[in-house]
């Protein structure tokens, strides 16, 4: 039954939402969403809806995640920083596309759950870290792609500085019911260009407060 629901998720929800990138579709096919949510929600695992994962957090709907993946256009040679691990589902999808994923989660219990889930899925190109990444995250080196699965009112300057030249950040920016997915490209040491991709509504970043940072 769940296998049929998984297939229908791809063919009746994701593809009709113009998620047509073959690598994204393969990732969504190969990663079993039901294994990243509580058993009580297995019947809704492939419904086009956000699902609770505890601690006031949710796993975003398949369509939204598919559209985010397609917009990010992660390549096999790229390293990715994910802000918000949750139970590890989106982390697993990113790991199918990227060379390596570093993922940060503010809730220790969720990060521990993600460790188990990713191990069961035999995914080993991921580094999980625990901490508050609402205003930035220290990295050993610049990174190709940064993706946030929670919304910012203002994108922290630290993240933009952490990008390689030629790199990009996917961020959902806005408040309440007015949010946009933006791709922020670093085109030189001191220049960034922003592209608005589509509108959506997702939960706000925990502890992210507007500051004198980079506003779009």
122 within domain boundaries: yes
Does residue 18 surpass a pLDDT of 60?
yes
Q: What angle do CA 41, 43, 47 make, to 5 degrees?
A: 95
Give me the half-sphere count of Cα atoms (radius 13 Å) on the Cβ side of residue 140: 2
211 within domain boundaries: no
Q: Which of 102, 162, 98 lies closest to 135, judged by CA?
A: 162
Does residue 211 surpass a pLDDT of 60?
no
213 within domain boundaries: no
210 within domain boundaries: no
55 within domain boundaries: yes
Count other Cβ atoms within 10 Å, centred on residue 63: 19
Does residue 216 surpass a pLDDT of 60?
no
Asked whether the beta carbons of 35 and 117 are under 8 A apart, the reply is yes
Total number of domains constituting the chain:
1
Confidence of residue 207 (pLDDT cuts 50, 70, 90): confident
Domain that holds residue 52: 2-199
pLDDT value for 152: 94
125 within domain boundaries: yes
C-alpha 120/C-alpha 25 separation (Å) is 21
Q: What is the pLDDT of residues 61-114, one digit of tens each?
A: 999 999 999 999 999 999 999 999 999 999 999 999 999 999 999 999 999 999
Q: What is the pLDDT of residues 123-175, one digit of tens each?
A: 999 999 999 999 999 999 999 999 999 999 999 999 999 999 999 999 999 99
What CATH code is carried by the domain that includes residue 191? Answer: 3.40.50.150
Confidence of residue 212 (pLDDT cuts 50, 70, 90): very low
- Bridge partners of 198, per DSSP, are 181
Q: What is the pLDDT of residues 19-47, one digit of tens each?
A: 999 999 999 999 999 999 999 999 999 99
Q: Nearest 10 degrees: CA dihedral of 127, 74, 212, 84?
A: -40
Confidence of residue 210 (pLDDT cuts 50, 70, 90): low
Does residue 208 surpass a pLDDT of 90?
no
């Amino acid at each position: 039954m769940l296998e049929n629901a998984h297939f229908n998720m791809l063919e009746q929800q994701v593809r009709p939402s113009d998620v047509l990138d073959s690598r994204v579709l393969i990732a969504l096919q190969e990663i079993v969403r039901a294994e990243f949510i509580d058993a009580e929600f297995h019947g809704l695992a492939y419904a086009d809806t956000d699902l609770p994962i505890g601690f006031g957090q949710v796993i975003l709907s398949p369509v939204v995640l598919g559209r985010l993946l397609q917009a990010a256009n992660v390549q096999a040679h790229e390293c990715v920083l994910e802000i918000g691990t949750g139970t590890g589902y989106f982390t697993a999808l990113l790991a199918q596309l990227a060379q390596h994923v570093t993922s940060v989660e503010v809730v220790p219990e969720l990060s521990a759950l993600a460790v188990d889930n990713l191990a069961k899925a035999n995914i080993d190109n991921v580094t999980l870290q625990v901490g508050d990444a609402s205003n930035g995250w220290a990295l050993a080196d610049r990174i190709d792609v940064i993706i946030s699965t929670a919304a910012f009112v203002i994108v922290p300057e630290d993240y933009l500085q952490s990008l390689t030249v030629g790199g990009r950040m996917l961020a959902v920016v806005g408040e309440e019911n007015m949010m946009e997915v933006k791709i922020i490209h670093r085109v030189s040491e001191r220049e960034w260009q922003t592209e608005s991709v589509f509108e959506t509504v997702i939960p706000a970043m925990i502890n992210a407060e507007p500051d004198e940072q980079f506003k779009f």
